[in-house]
């Protein structure tokens, strides 16, 4: 596994490439509560000496170190977790697309096809792919050619409508072919009021409090909180 030297305010630390983390270990990490996954990953991959340095960094210094780690790895910690979620939910259509491209999910990660490569593959998957069809079904298959064809159908419908009595009187025009990203007309009661942000934050805080790790040392609890703050956008 590739190992990188990451600069910090307290000197260099060594961390292995996130693009080559073993899939078996990632599956175990993903079983943990979301707020614990980042520090579980770091504790497994970092040496005791590196953990000692990371524990002494400020929140900003830790954020910088994690950013450099993600940059040199080609994939960040949270991107890796999101990748695992996609694989867990949509493994079969993803495998079908990979096979069509001459790749295999079981070969990831390897020197020729790592997590960074898979991230790029998914990010640029075609609208005609199997994965796109299950992840964004409303937009699946809408290539440029399909959009142009829909325009032609709409034009022909309008031309035909203009020859009718309704067309002469300018009433009841034909509906356009539904397109992705174009919302249908709103109906009464179709715009429910969203929950206030304060309520959402309170519920999230209650959920995190109920799932907080128990029976851990003060040092480990502090590390969990600092890592959780970092990857959840807190300080």
* Peptide bond before residue 109 is cis, with ω within 30 degrees of 0: yes
Q: What is the pLDDT of residue 147?
A: 85
Strands (E), the chain: 3-8, 11-16
Q: What is the pLDDT of residue 105?
A: 97
Tell me which DSSP letter residue 15 carries.
Answer: E
- Tell me the mean pLDDT per 10 residues along the chain, length 235: 89 94 96 93 94 92 93 96 96 97 97 97 94 90 86 90 89 88 56 53 55 57 66 54
Q: Which residue blocks in the chain are alpha helix, DSSP H?
A: 23-30, 34-45, 48-55, 59-73, 77-100, 115-123, 130-135, 144-162, 165-169, 197-210, 218-232
In whole angstroms, give the CA distance from residue 62 to residue 55: 9
Q: What is the pLDDT of residue 150?
A: 86
Q: What is the pLDDT of residue 183?
A: 62
Please state the pTM of the whole predicted model: 0.70
Q: What is the pLDDT of residue 235?
A: 46
Contact by Cβ (8 Å): 18, 75: yes
Reported residue count of the chain is 235
Q: Which of 215, 74, 128 is nearest to 224 (CA)?
A: 215
């Amino acid at each position: 596994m590739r190992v990188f030297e990451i600069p910090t305010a307290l000197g260099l630390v060594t961390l292995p490439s996130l693009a080559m983390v073993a899939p078996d270990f990632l599956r175990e990490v993903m079983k943990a509560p979301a707020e614990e996954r980042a520090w579980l990953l770091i504790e497994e991959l970092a040496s005791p000496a590196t953990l000692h340095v990371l524990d002494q960094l400020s929140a900003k210094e830790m954020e910088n170190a994690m950013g450099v780690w993600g940059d040199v790895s080609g994939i960040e910690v949270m991107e890796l977790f999101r990748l695992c979620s996609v694989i867990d939910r949509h493994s079969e259509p993803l495998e079908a697309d990979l096979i069509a491209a001459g790749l295999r999910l079981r070969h990831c990660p390897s020197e020729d096809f790592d997590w960074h490569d898979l991230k790029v593959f998914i990010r640029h998957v075609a609208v005609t792919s199997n994965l796109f069809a299950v992840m964004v079904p409303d937009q699946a298959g809408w290539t440029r050619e399909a959009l142009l064809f829909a325009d032609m159908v709409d034009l022909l419908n309008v031309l035909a409508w203009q020859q009718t009595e309704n067309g002469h009187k300018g009433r009841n025009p034909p509906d356009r072919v539904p397109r992705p990203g174009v919302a249908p007309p709103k109906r009464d009661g179709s715009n429910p009021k969203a929950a206030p942000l304060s309520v959402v934050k309170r519920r999230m805080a209650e959920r995190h409090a109920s799932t907080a790790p128990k029976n851990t040392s003060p040092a480990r609890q502090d590390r969990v909180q600092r890592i959780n703050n970092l990857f959840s956008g807190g300080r």
